[in-house]
Amino acid sequence: MAEQGLEESLHRELGLTDDEYERICSILDRKPNHLELAMFSVMWSEHCSYKSSRIHLKRFPTEAPWVLVGPGEGAGVVDVGDGIGAAIRIESHNHPSAIEPYQGAATGAGGILRDIFSMGARPIALMDPLRFGPLDDPRSRWIAEGVVSGISGYGNSVGVPTVGGETVFDECYTGNPLVNVLCLGVLPVERLVLGRAEGVGNLAVLLGSTTGRDGIGGVSVLASAGFSDEASDADKRPSVQVGDPFEEKRLIEACLELLDSNLAAGVQDLGGAGITCATAETAAKGGAGMDVMIAPIPQREPGMEPFEVMISESQERMLAIVEPANLAAVLAIAERWEIRANVIGIVTDTGRLRVLDEENGQVLADVPAKALEQDAPLYDRPRSAPADREQRQLESANALDAPADPGADVLAMLSDTSWVSSQYDHMLFLNTVEGPGGDAAVLRLKHPSTGLDTGRGLALTTDGNHLWGAVDPYRGGVMTVAESVMNLAVVGARPLALVNCLNFGNPEHPEVMWQLSESIDGLSEALLAFGIPCVGGNVSLYNESRGTDIDPTAVIGLLGVVDVLETPPPGVRLVEGGRLLLLGHTEAELSGSAWAALKGHRGRGKLPEVDLEAVAHVADAVRDLVIAGLVQGAHDVSSGGTAVALAEMAVRSGVGFTAARLADHTDLFAESSGRAVLCIDPEKLREVLDVLEERGIEHSRIGVAGGDRMSVKGQFDLGLSEVTARWTNHLPDALGSGTVQG
Amino acid sequence: MSTNVAVIRFPGTNCEFDVVEVVQHLGASAEIVFHDEPSLGNADAVVVAGGFAHGDYLRPGAIARFSPVMDAVAAFAQEGGPVVGICNGFQVLTEAHLLPGALQKNAGLKFRCGFTDLRVESSNSVLTSAVTPGDILSIPINHFEGNYTCSLETLAELQSEDRILFRYVTNPNGSMDDIAGICNEGRNVVGLMPHPERACHDLLGSHDGINLMQSLLNAAGLSSVQGPS
C-alpha cells in the first residue's frame, strides 16, 4: 500500500532518523501520532536541539561572579553594577537571508529582540556581523542590499539602534551569506525573569501576532501526507517568515509593562518551533506540565491543522505565564498597546505537554514536556582533521614574493562600511558615544528604571575571521578573542562576557565537526586566559556554498565595561603632530592574513603564535592609557596588519602620516595578535613611554602623524585624498549603482 | 511650577524618552502623553517626538493625525502654544495640516542616519530664538522620508515670510530648497527632520541642539507665565 509506505517513512521525511523514531516510541511507549511526530521533529531538529554541537559547547567556560544567567536561557545576563543587569545574545539568520534577504534579516532582528525582552530587559542595541559573497557577483550584491535594507527597515522602526557590526565580502559566502545579529539589553537586576511555567493553574497567555502557515518549512511534508484538502499548496508557501516591526514594537512595550507591574510570572518568546517550543520549554524548565488548547489560538487563515498551529514560526508572538487573578490586568495592558492576548493554556502538575482541540476537549497530543525539550539525542559525530592538513601547514605565505607595490595592496584592503551603517539608526536612546566604524561601540550606561547616568559605559564588539579559521580553527579562535579584547581596550573597556555565533558547514562532514570542536577549544582557551565567561551562543551548521563548506567562521560578541566615561574614547584617528607607537610583538608570519588571501594564498601555512599573557598585558596598558587621557588616537592591529591599521586611522581623521621601522611587507601586513597603534601627543610621549617601559610592554616608535600623504619609508607613499576616495567609494560604487535581482 | 513639556507618544514612537531626558536635563519637567488622551493636561509646550507612529504603515503620520491627542495638539497650537514636531513628528504635523507641505522618500531611496550641518535661517520661532541666522549647527538626521516638498506657491510664502528655519548645508535627501525645518504663520508650530535632542551632550558628539531645546523651553516658560496669547 502506497499510503502505508508513506506512513512508515513519514518520520524520515520530517528529518528524524529511524533511531530517533524508535526513541520517541520508547518515550511514549507507543507510536506517536502525526501531531506528536511533528512536535518531536521540530524540537529535535538541529536548529532547536543542538544535537550535533551540544557535547562540544559544554566545554566553554561559563562561570564568573558577575554572571547572573549563563547559557541555555533566552539570553545571558551579567551584573554590570549599580543594580543593572546586561542581557546579551547572538543568533544567526543565514539560511532565510539567502532565500529572502530582506525578510530573512528583518526577522532575525525581530527574533533576537524577543529573546532579550523575555528576560525583562529593554533592548538598547543591535550589532550585525554580516558576510556576503564577492561584490562582483550580482546575486551577492542583491543579497547584501536586501539584508542591509531588512535590518534597517526592521531595526529602525522597532526602535532599537544598530550600533555596529562587521561587513565582510568573500567568495566562500557566495550563495550562503552569514547574517548574524547580536542584541544587548539592560534591566534592573530585580526585574530579571526566566521563562518558567510555575504554579499549577497559572495561565499561558499568547501575546501578539496571529499564527499562520508561514515558517513551517520542512514539516510541510505532513501536509502532503494527506492531512487536509486545503493544505495541498502549503509547500508552495514561503517558509521564510515576514516581519512586522510595528507589532514587535507594541509587543516590547506591552511585555515590559507587564514585567514592570509584576503581572507575569514568566515570559517566553516564540521562535523556532513556535508554540510547541515555547510551551514545552516553559513547562520543562518550571518542572511542570501544560495543557494547550488549539481553539483559542488566533489563526491567520481558516482550515489550519493542529500541527500547523503548533509548529508555525509566525513572528511577533510571546507567551506569558500569568496568575488567574492578574489576567484582567494583563488583558488591559494588551488592549492599551493594541496587541492580541488569548489564554491558550494552563499549567498542570503532570509534567506532560498535552494539546487539546479546546478546553476540556479531545486530546490531540500527549507527550512528556521534558522529552521534547531535553531528551533529543546527543551526537558525537565523527570528526577528523583534513587529510592534507600537514602538507598544507608546510606551505607558508612567507614564501610568497614580496609585493612590487605594497601601496596598491594597502588600497585593495581598505573599505569604508558606512554605506551600511548610515542606513541604520545608531543613535536612538542617546547612548551612542562611539557608533559604527570604531573598534568597539561605546554606550552610556544609564539605569533602565531611573534613567540616571552611571558615569560609566558599556562597550561592544563583534569579531570573526574566516581566513584565520581556514588555516587553523583552534588558533583562529584564540586570535579572535584576542582581537576582541584589544578592540575593547582601545576604547577603554575591560571585558565582561562573551557570546558566540558559530557558523560552520555540514556537520556530517568529519572535517567540519573537527573545525567546530577545534574552534570551541581555541575560543575556550583564550576565554580562560582572560577570565571571560561565555554566557550564550548559537550554532549555525549546513552553511555551504556551491557544494563546498564555508570557511569556519566563529563570530564572537564581547561585552565590556568602561569604568570611567567622561570623554569619548580617542577613536580610530590621527592628530597632526602626534607620535605613532606600535605596541605588541610582531611575528614574521603572513599565513592566514588578508594580504596572503589577496595573493590567492588561503587555508595554508600556520597562524602566528599567540602569547595570551602578553596580549593581556598590552590590552591592560592600552586601556589604562586611554582612561588616563594620554591617547589621541588608537586602533587595534588585525586584518590587514599594521599598514591597514595606520591607513584606517588616516582616512578616518583626514590626517596623513610618515612612518619608518616597518622594514618589509611582513612588518606591514602580518596579523600577530595583541597589537595596537597609538597616536600620542608629543608632550605626553615621555609619560606614555615610561608606562610602557615600566610594564615591560614591547613597543616601537614608528612615526609621526600629519600632512596629506601616507608614507612608510621604503614601502609606499600614497596621497591621502587618493586613498580616502578609494576607501569611501568602494562600497557605494559596488552597491549604490543598482543591483540585479538574482 | 516648572515648565512642563508634553511629549506625545503614539504606538511606534521611539524618541519620546530621549526628548524627556533632554528636557529634564535642561531643568524643565516632561510628561509623556499617550495618543489616546483627549487632553494635554497642564502642558506649556508640546513635542511630537520621532519614531514610526503606527509603524509608518500607509504613509508616515497618515494614521497618527487621527489620534484623539491630535485634536488637543491642534487646539493648543491654535491658541499659540509652542509645538515642535521632530522627524516623524514633523511628518505628523504636515499630515495634520498644522504645517504645510509633505515629506517624501529620500532621493536615493535609502534610510539616512548621521550628523548633518544645518544653517540657521531665522531666529524668529519658538525653536530658534536662542540661535542666530547663519549659525551652523551639527545635528543628526535619521529618516527615510525627509525629502520636504510643497507647492511653488507655498514655497514662495515660506521664503517671503521667513518661515524656513533651517537649511541643510549639504542636502542629504533631495529636500526642496534644502529645507530642513519650517514654522507656521504664527511661528509657534515648528517641524524639522533633524533631531536636536540627539545633539545635547558632548559625549554624543555635539551639543548644538541645546540652544534649540532651550528656545523651546523659553517659549514654553513665556506661555506658562502669560498664558497662550
In this complex, which of B55, B113, B203 lies closest to A157 when CB atoms are compared?
Answer: B55
CB neighbour class for A546 (10 Å; exposed up to 12, middle 13-18, buried from 19): exposed
Q: Would you tell me the crossing angle of helices A34-43 and A18-28 to the nearest 10 degrees?
A: 120
Output the pLDDT for position A46: 86
Q: What is the pLDDT of residues A674-731, one digit of tens each?
A: 999 999 999 999 999 999 999 999 999 999 999 999 999 999 999 999 999 999 999 9
Instruction: Give the pLDDT band (50/70/90) at residue A265.
Output: confident
B54 to chain A, any CB pair closer than 8 A? The answer is: yes
Give the CATH number of domain A570-734; options: 3.40.50.300, 3.40.50.1390, 3.40.50.620, 3.90.650.10. Answer: 3.90.650.10
Decide: B53 and B96 in contact? Cβ < 8 Å.
no
> Dihedral of CA B6/B10/B16/B19: which sign?
negative
Q: Are A646 and A704 in contact (CB under 8 A)?
A: no
C-alpha to C-alpha distance for A75 and A72, rounded to whole angstroms: 8
Q: Of A102, A154, A156, which to mutate for an interface test with B (greatest number of B Cβ within 10 Å)?
A: A156
Return the exposure string of B141-151: e unless at least 16 CB atoms fall within 10 Å of the residue's CB, then b: bbbbbbbbbbe
Residue A114 has φ and ψ, to the nearest 5°, of -65, -35
Q: Out of A34, A47, A95, A665, which one is annotated catalytic?
A: A47
- Per the CB < 8 Å rule, is A249 touching B52? yes
> Quick check: A159 and B140 CB within 8 A?
no
CB contact under 8 A, A429 and B203: no
Give B-chain residues touching A427 at CB under 8 angstroms: 113, 140, 142, 195, 198, 204
SS3 state of residue A289: strand
Report the number of secondary-structure helices (H) and strands (E) in chain A. 25, 28
pLDDT single digits (tens) B43-83: 999 999 999 999 999 899 999 999 999 999 999 999 999 99
Among chain A, residues having any CB pair with chain B shorter than 8 Å are 152-153, 156-159, 244-247, 249-250, 253, 336-338, 418, 421-430, 432-433, 444, 451, 565, 567-568
pLDDT at position A557 is 98
Q: Is B169 exposed, middle or buried (0-12, 13-18, 19+ CB in 10 A)?
A: middle
> What's the pLDDT score for residue A239?
63
The SS3 assignment for A544 reads: strand
B121 part of the active site: no
Residue span(s) of chain A under CATH 3.90.650.10 come to: 32-52+191-374, 570-734
Give the pLDDT confidence of A446-466 residue by residue, as tens digits: 999 999 999 999 999 999 999
Q: What is the CATH number of domain A32-52+191-374?
A: 3.90.650.10
Helix, strand, or coil here: A434?
strand
Residue A77 has a pLDDT of 98
Interchain CB distance below 8 Å, A451 and B201? no
- Give A503-518 pLDDT, tens digit per residue: 999 999 999 999 999 9
In 3-state terms, what secondary structure has residue A151? helix
In this complex, which of A158, A427, A433 lies closest to B198 when CB atoms are compared? A427
Is residue B51 classed exposed, middle or buried when 0-12, 13-18 and 19+ CB atoms within 10 A define those classes?
A: buried
B183 catalytic? Reply is: no
Chain A residues near residue B56 by CB distance under 8 angstroms? 157, 246
The residues in B 62-81 lying below 8 A from A, measured between CB atoms, are: none
Report the candidate in A75, A48, A72 with the shortest Cα–Cα distance to residue A60: A72
More confident residue, A216 or A334: A334
Establish if B107 touches chain A: CB-CB under 8 angstroms: no
Q: What is the pLDDT of residues B73-116, one digit of tens each?
A: 999 999 999 999 999 999 999 999 999 999 999 998 999 999 99
For the whole model, what pTM was predicted?
0.94
Task: Please report residues of B whose CB lies closer than 8 A to that of A459.
Answer: none
Q: Which of residues 1-30 of B touch A (CB under 8 A)?
A: 11-12, 14-15, 17-18, 21-22
Taking the CA of residue B226 and the nearest CA in chain A, the distance in Å comes to 32
Q: Cell triple for residue A21?
A: 523514531
Across the range A615-629, mean pLDDT stands at: 97
Task: Indicate which residue of B16, B35, B54, B87 is catalytic.
Answer: B87
Element containing residue A719 per DSSP (H, E):
strand A716-719
Instruction: Catalogue all structural domains in chain B, each as residue range(s) with its CATH number.
Output: 4-226 (3.40.50.880)
Residue pair A678/A692 in contact by the 8 Å Cβ criterion: no
Confidence of residue A598 (pLDDT cuts 50, 70, 90): very high
- Which chain B positions have a beta carbon within 8 Å of A420's beta carbon? none
Give the whole-angstrom CA distance, residue A369 versus residue A277: 10
A323 burial level (CB within 10 Å; 0-12, 13-18, 19+):
middle
The grid coordinates of residue A669 equal 601586513
